[in-house]
């Protein structure tokens, strides 16, 4: 049981870090994103979110059959309105969220329907007392980011939702490197690199809720086909270039980008082969471009110029 608590706490920490950095990236680049929506700034989980075998350990923390705030972005309207991790959410804009194994799916549908308008009204329960909390959502790029738990150094996007695995969370060093990874995946989406007909395959329709999925994605024919597509068309270079702008726009340090990809190639060469979706090849061309992009952005920043990728309207 003790081991389970350690794993749950680690996953909750990683989820909080992921959502904190994703929130900054998604809210800083709305002018470049074709689709935007209100960013919740918090994730929800119930006692089943890490799988049934963790349910009793989850219950001994503060999770129940219903939905509880599992992570929250500190610098967000939700926090400023008084919402805290551990609060039970009973209603979202007047709609009951329910309980049980399917409650996350149900909540996702409710929130998707009701988040169009950026005003949010929650009824929550804390220490047995009910509270109403209202706030206005910030606008963000409409690319939900989810944490997967396969323990592999992987990140991918299906064109809509972005998945970052726990293995990647443990490999990156701090928020700056995580922002570089997220920026890269957002760039794939902004540039429409992932064909629309693929978009429903893996994670379509996911929103900013705590989801811990194992999709087996990279081993599918779709995953391999997509990896080939990215490389054959130079999409990786484009995602690197625009991704670094997104990272910088969110206020993160980009100096380490080339070194990050290099480290990924050195320590985990299996993840830089054309077999996986994450495939981030360590080619000399790629490093040269990363270095020149870093120089370009720093030069613009020092000159006080607006950070807009060249060739993007």
Give contact residues for Zn ion (rule: CB under 5 A).
236, 239
CB of 192: closest distance to Zn ion in angstroms?
14
Decide whether 175 or 236 has the Cβ nearer to Zn ion: 236
Q: How far apart are the first and last CA of the chain?
A: 54
How far out from the chain centre does Cα 155 lie?
A: 9
Decide whether 76 or 157 has the Cβ nearer to Zn ion: 157
Decide whether 104 or 239 has the Cβ nearer to Zn ion: 239
Decide whether 137 or 244 has the Cβ nearer to Zn ion: 244
Instruction: Say if CB 116 and CB 85 are below 8 A apart.
Output: no
**What's the rounded Cα separation, in Å, for the pair 242 and 248?**
10
Strand-pairing partners, residue 147, are 164
95-96 and 119-126 as β-strands: parallel, antiparallel, unpaired? unpaired
CB of 167: closest distance to Zn ion in angstroms?
16
CB of 209: closest distance to Zn ion in angstroms?
24
CB of 162: closest distance to Zn ion in angstroms?
11
CB of 142: closest distance to Zn ion in angstroms?
19
Decide whether 46 or 189 has the Cβ nearer to Zn ion: 189
CB of 258: closest distance to Zn ion in angstroms?
15
What proportions of the chain, in percent to the nearest 5, are helix, strand and coil? 45, 15, 40
Which H or E run includes 203?
none
Instruction: Say if CB 199 and CB 160 are below 8 A apart.
Output: yes
Going by C-alpha positions, the residue among 202, 192, 207, 223 that lies closest to residue 143 is 207
Torsion angles phi and psi, residue 168, rounded to 5: -70, -40
Decide whether 45 or 244 has the Cβ nearer to Zn ion: 244
Residues 6+ apart with CB under 8 A from 128: none
């Amino acid at each position: 049981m003790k081991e389970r608590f350690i794993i749950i706490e680690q996953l909750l920490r990683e989820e909080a870090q992921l959502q904190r950095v994703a929130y900054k990236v998604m809210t800083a680049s709305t002018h470049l994103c074709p689709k935007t929506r209100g960013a919740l700034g918090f994730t929800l989980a119930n006692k089943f979110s890490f799988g049934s075998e963790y349910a009793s350990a989850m219950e001994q923390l503060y999770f129940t059959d219903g939905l509880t705030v599992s992570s929250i972005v500190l610098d967000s309207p939700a926090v400023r309105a008084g919402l805290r991790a551990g609060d039970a959410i009973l209603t979202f804009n007047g709609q009951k969220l329910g309980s049980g194994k399917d409650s996350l799916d149900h909540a996702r549908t409710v929130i998707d329907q009701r988040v169009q308008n950026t005003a949010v009204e929650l009824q929550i329960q804390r220490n047995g007392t009910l509270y109403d909390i209202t706030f206005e959502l910030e606008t963000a790029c409409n690319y939900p980011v989810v944490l997967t738990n396969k323990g592999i150094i992987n990140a991918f996007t299906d064109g809509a939702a972005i998945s970052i695995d726990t293995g990647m969370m443990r490999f990156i060093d701090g928020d700056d490197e995580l922002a570089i990874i997220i920026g890269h995946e957002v760039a794939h989406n902004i540039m429409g690199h992932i064909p629309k007909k693929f978009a429903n395959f893996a994670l379509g329709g996911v929103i900013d809720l705590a989801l811990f999925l194992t999709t087996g994605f990279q081993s599918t024919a779709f995953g391999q086909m997509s990896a080939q597509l990215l490389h054959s068309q130079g999409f990786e270079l484009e995602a690197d270039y625009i991704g670094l702008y997104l990272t910088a726009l969110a206020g993160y340090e980009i100096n380490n980008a080339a070194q990050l990809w290099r480290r990924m190639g050195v320590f985990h060469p299996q993840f830089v082969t054309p077999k996986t979706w994450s495939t981030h090849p360590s080619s000399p061309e790629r490093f040269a471009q990363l270095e020149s992009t870093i120089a370009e952005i720093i030069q613009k920043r020092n000159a006080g110029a607006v950070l807009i990728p060249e060739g993007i309207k």
